Structure 1
Amino acid sequence: MEIHPKITPIYQTSVFKFDDLNELEQYFGEPGSRYMYSRNGNPNSDELAEAVNKLEGGAGAIATGSGMAAIFAALLAFCQAGDHVLCAADIYGGSSSLLNAELSRMGITVTYVPFEQLYDLGQYVQPTTRLLLAETLSNPLLRVADLRQLATECHKHGLKLVVDNTFASPIITKPLGLGADITLHSVTKYISGHSDVTAGVVVAADAEVAARLKQIGMHYGLTLSPMESWLAVRGLKTLRLRVREHSHNALAIARFLQEQPAVRAVYYPGLEGHPQHALAKEQGQGLFGGMMSFRLADDAAVVNGFMQRCQRFPFAPSLAGVDSSLSYPLGTSHRYLTAEQQQDLDITVGLIRLSVGIEPVEELLNDLQQALKG
């Protein structure tokens, strides 16, 4: 009896069988024709990688065990010992920790570039500089990078542009179409979307780079497991719908927070007063995503009181699930930056990051209102 499932089954196997030596030779002679060992690739991880690759308009992709593994693979695709990389100062704390604590041990050095100087890299470029790592929407202050201008500046200096597109998702922005060389995601966040998967994806604009990524994934053991891949693919199918609802709710909440006496600043690119609002509107096709930050008084007691009163925004140091949550950059994602770096990035005691979910927006607004009243 032939079986034709509508949904790809979970290939929960570590190895695949061969009938004879001819099939073994086919595996090595015709890459992609069959599977041998799940670390090298499996149908589920390949399905996820190809689905995100199609959304991003890439030449090939790999699925990894986490967003951090995706960042690692993307950097190694272009770098080796002795190389130098540039990194936007406004970056996820885990990215800077990877560069500072681990890649430095491999002989890869880093220089951080302030947001205001991203489009004038000449003073930072060294003979060994290979790439710039930046985010579409920065974590946690939601600054918006002009990716087309950034790609032009990088390529003028012979650099590759690697873009972490996690906060935006390919529904809002497609970095490769704007000139980036690699785009990556923590699939844990919007692509999977249900806070039940830890995964990453790296997408390359060039087929040779995509082949290098596959080699890195295999040799370093970064390949995502079948079950996690299957769950991520399931989540991905509703990404377009979810991003619209995230964006709708977030804009309503950002406008509400602007009017609250206890709130000193709101950082959301959908607000007309955001410094990069026009760019975000053009680059994001009118959608601004579900991530925002806002600032209360720089008083831990004020922050703690707000967190304790929140019912619909639990304190959970991640983001992008269908359920709303809040996070605290100073104590989580950017905890290991120096005090000077935190000050330069304006990450203070009163800064709170919201991940706005897809619940009825009235329920979220009511909860924030009572939590802010104290």
Structure 2
Amino acid sequence: MNPPAIHPKITPIYQTSVFKFEDLDAVQQYFDEPGSRYLYSRNGNPNSDELAEAVSRWEGGAGAVATGSGMAAIFAALLTYCQAGDHVLCAADIYGGSAALLNLELSRLGIAVSYVPFEELYDLAPYVQASTRLLLCETMSNPLLRVVDLRRLADECRQRGLKLVVDNTFATPVLTRPLALGADLVLHSVTKYLAGHSDVTAGAVVARTAEDAGRLRQIGTVFGLTLSPMESWLSVRGLKTLRLRVAAHSENAGLVAEFLEAHPAVRAVYYPGRPTHPQHALAAAQGGGRFGGMLSFRLPDEVAVVNAFMQRSRRFPFAPSLAGVDSSCSQPLSTSHRALTDAQRAELGITVGLIRLSVGIEPVEELLSDLAQALK
């Protein structure tokens, strides 16, 4: 008796390191016809391919690679265009891990970096060298939520012969699709909003051209950056609710930002959805009227004040990551941006009292009540 045909609605988890072949002809087919079958999960797996294809569709790309973390995604993106002797430009407002990768590791490989202040991003002439290959930036900067005019920046990069690489983790493709605005590569820490439930460590890079997509896959395979089947499966599951979650995150964050802006204990609030934000109009246009779930605010620059807030809060635990369905808080000085120099942190305004909130999708009245009692 033949087993019944199986047609699962959801892709099964292919928790295997290697795939079987019937004979030498089958092995040859693998090499002659890329994508016809699987060999080894570092080279490709149905689950990691499903995730890469899903993120590529979201971003409108020509192809993508899923990686073992957001840092692996940044590494793969930079190596797509760079080799020893090259020079990279990076927005000064950048995730601390990106700066650490550039300063501590890629410099050892002979790739130099210069940082461009936010106000000077649209005139790169003073920073471009003969060996400059690309500019790396974030759609919304971490942690001060400055918003980059991606179309304008893409035009500037094109005029200078540079590739534009955009970290779209904070915005997600629900709000902004950098490739459509002229970027060449867009990357994500899938750990954050794409997976969305604080139970996955993953990354992804999407290319605008098929040639760059092929290069990304080669880098992922050769360096062993590819993502495991289980993490891929969980990430795909999270992606299915991305649109709904981002809408809920955005609504709650807007109300939290409004509350904090009016609170006497708070010295400043950084959220693109507030009319007081310097790039509010740009964020509204580039984000389709939504502004995401991340914001930062300032308390007095006293460790005791920050500790008191963190100890009192029940709905915003101190957890140095972001974008889960449950809210959390972080202090960039001691976590995400501790690898920056004192001068870099001072220039960016990353001080003791700067608190970053990842606003979740809980009932917003519970979040506001908790903030009220924690800020007393």
TM-score (norm 2): 0.99
Q: Which residue of 2 aligns with 1:247?
A: 250
The amino acid that maps onto 2:19 is F
Equivalent of 2:166 in 163, 168, 174:
163
Matched, 1:286 2:271: no
- How far residue 22 of structure 1 moved from its aligned partner, in angstroms, is 1.3
Alignment of 1:75 onto 2:78: yes
Structure 2 SS opposite 1:124? coil
Task: Write the distance in 2 (CA, Å) between the matches of 1:321 and 1:5.
Answer: 28
Shift, 1:11, TM fit:
0.1
1: CA distance, partners of 2:68 / 2:14:
16
Aligned equivalents of 1:88 and 1:33: distance in 2?
41
How far does residue 213 in structure 1 lie from its aligned partner after superposition? 0.3
Q: Distance in 1 between matches of 2:179 and 2:217?
A: 18
Which residue in the other structure is 1:127 paired with?
130
Deviation string for 1:286-336 (max 9, x for gaps)?
110000000000111100000000000000000000000000000001111
3-state SS of 1:77 partner: helix
Q: Distance in 1 between matches of 2:49 and 2:227?
A: 9
CA drift at 1:280:
0.2
- The equivalent position to 2:272 in structure 1, one of 260, 269, 272, is 269
In the alignment, the residues of structure 2 paired with residue 336 and residue 106 of structure 1 have an alpha-carbon distance, to the nearest angstrom, of 19
Amino acid at match of 1:238: T
Question: Once the two structures are aligned, what percentage of the paired residues are identical?
Answer: 76
Tell me the residue number matched to 2:354: 351
State how far apart, in whole Å, the 2-side matches of 1:131 and 1:93 are. 19
- Residue 353 of structure 1: SS of its match in structure 2? strand
One-letter code aligned to 2:346: Q
2: CA distance, partners of 1:302 / 1:327: 14
Alpha-carbon distance, 1:206 to partner: 0.6
Give me the whole-angstrom Cα distance separating, in 1, the residues matched to 2:23 and 2:234.
33
**Which of 228, 231, 236 is residue 228 of structure 1 equivalent to?**
231
1:179-328 superposed matches below 5 A: 179-328=182-331
Q: State the distance in 1 between where 2:257 and 2:7 align.
A: 47
**C-alpha distance in structure 2 between counterparts of 1:365 and 1:243, whole Å:** 19
1:143 to 110, 131, 146: 146
Q: 1:55 aligns with which of 53, 58, 76?
A: 58
Equivalent residue of 1:32, what SS? coil
**CA–CA distance in 1 between the matches of 2:119 and 2:227?**
37
Equivalent residue, structure 1, for 2:33: 30
Measure the CA separation in 2 of the matches of 1:162 and 1:32: 27
**C-alpha offsets along residues 3-59 of structure 1, whole Å, 9 cap, x if unaligned?**
000000000000000001111111000101110000001000000000000000000
SS of the counterpart of 1:337?
A: coil
Counterpart of 1:39? Answer: 42
Q: Deviations over 1:254-308 (max 9, x none)?
A: 0000110000000000001100000000000011000000000011110000000
Name the CA distance, whole Å, in 2 between partners of 1:171 and 1:289.
9
Matched, 1:11 2:14: yes
Work out the CA distance in 1 between the residues paired with 2:190 and 2:23.
37
Three-state SS of the structure 1 residue aligned to 2:255 is helix
- What CA deviation, in whole Å up to 9, does each residue of 1:200-249 have, x standing for no partner? 00000010000000000000000000000000000010000000000000
Amino acid at match of 2:349: D
The answer as to 2:132 corresponding to 1:90 is no
CA offset digits 1:105-157 (Å, max 9, x no partner): 10000000000000000010000000000000000000000000000000100
Corresponding residue for residue 24 of structure 2: 21
The match for 1:2 is 5
The equivalent residue for 1:361 is: 364
Which letter does structure 1 place at the counterpart of 2:289?
G
TM-score, with structure 1 as normaliser: 0.99
Equivalent in 65, 69, 87 of residue 68 of structure 2: 65
Name the SS for the 1:130 alignment partner. strand
Which residue type is aligned with residue 348 of structure 1? T
Q: Give 3-state SS (helix, strand or coil) of 2:88's partner.
A: strand
Shift of 1:81: 0.5
Cα RMSD for the two superposed structures: 0.4
Unaligned runs of 5+ in 2: none
1:250 partner amino acid: A
Structure 2 letter corresponding to 1:34 = R
Partner of 1:339: 342
Q: Secondary structure at the match of 2:82?
A: coil
Secondary structure at the counterpart of residue 112 of structure 1 = strand
The runs of 4+ residues in structure 1 deviating greater than 6 Å are none
Instruction: Return the alpha-carbon distance in structure 1 between the equivalents of residues 343 and 189 of structure 2.
Output: 27
* Whole-angstrom CA distance in 1 between matches of 2:209 and 2:278: 33
Q: Which AA in structure 2 matches 1:94?
A: G
Deviation for aligned residue 1:343 = 0.5
Query: Structure 1: any 5+ residue segments left out of the alignment?
Result: none
